[in-house]
Amino acid sequence: MYKLTFLGHDNASLSMFYEALHTIYKHNVSTSIVSIMEANKLLDEKIPFAVDGIPYAVCKHEEWIPEIDSEIILGTMVAKIKQKIFAFFNDNYSINHEQYTNLYHPTSVISKTNIIGTGVTIGPGAVIAPYAVLGNHVSVNRNATIGHHTTVCDFATLNPGCNIAGFCRIEEGVTIGMGANVIDGRRIGKNSTIGAGSLVTKDIPDNVVAYGVPAKIVRDK
């Protein structure tokens, strides 16, 4: 029986993760969800899953006892929430990057020449081209693509159907919106957000929101 513990969660991300787990392990998997919600909010939280039949338990972080035989992963793909949850469990439980596992959907295409960190999640139909580098806790959603020699730094999130061309650099905490495209050699600055459907033709600085065709900065974050 494969055991996996999610630290924190959001429902949309969990649905994708559970679908991947079922595809890989069928029902030979059990899971735990460790919540940092306030107790009253946790009681009201409804957690939908894409697949029935995978056992799970939800507990408050104060009651969590780490299991030696259980892998751990962040239960969300939202960039800023990933950063906060990681920091919380690092500060309170001394859980560092090396203690996380990766979760790849079996239909994703990952080159043997890729360098990939820990806590990385790759969704169905995603393609990672040769010599790409993915940092820790990078999320690549369904049908997203990362070009050759592109670097995607820690906690970045690529939403469904986005396309990052070759020789790009996606900095820490960046969010690339659904269906957005980034042409060759562009840099997206730390914690910036690219809106859905945008076309990035120029470098984007840190801490801004940009969207459009071509993408333009619309505000600071």
DSSP state at residue 204: B
- R_g of the chain computed on alpha carbons: 17
Amino acid letter at 195?
Answer: G
Distance in angstroms (rounded) separating the CA atoms of residues 126 and 56: 27
Distance in angstroms (rounded) separating the CA atoms of residues 116 and 109: 13
Query: Tokens 């333009």 identify what position?
Result: 216
Q: Is the torsion defined by CA of 70, 71, 77, 79 positive or negative?
A: positive
Q: Is the torsion defined by CA of 204, 198, 185, 159 positive or negative?
A: positive
Residue 9 is a catalytic residue: no
Distance in angstroms (rounded) separating the CA atoms of residues 185 and 59: 44
Q: Hey, which residues are catalytic here? A: 149
